[in-house]
Amino acid sequence: MAAGTIRYWAAAKAAAGIAEEPYAAENLAEALDAVRERHPGELVRVLQRCSFLVDGDPVGTRDHETVRLAEGGTVEVLPPFAGG
């Protein structure tokens, strides 16, 4: 099991009530399941609209179970941003 950091941005940060927290998971699906358990409510709804970066690489449409997490890695949770 890998340990790293999840960073929340914008609406995800507001919904979580924190800027970042640790993860302990093998893949992105496991890490997000743990987030949903720790933060039921608004963050669960926000996550449905988010995109994710894992160690700087966009996850895109890949199945979250196939996205392996590295020891010391970083998951960025990015809600949609308005404007351009």
pLDDT tens readout for residues 15-52: 999 999 999 999 999 999 999 999 999 999 999 999 99
Nearest to 77 by CA among 3, 16, 2, 1: 16
Domains of the chain from N-terminus onward: 2-78 (3.10.20.30)
47, two tokens: 């996550």
Distance CA 51, CA 47 (A): 8
In whole angstroms, how far apart are CA 36 and each of 12, 15, 30, 80? 12, 11, 10, 19
Q: Tokens 């640790």 belong to which residue? A: 22
Read off the pLDDT of residues 65-82 as tens digits, 9 standing for 90 and up.
999 999 999 999 999 876
Rounded Cα distance between 31 and 22, Å, is 9
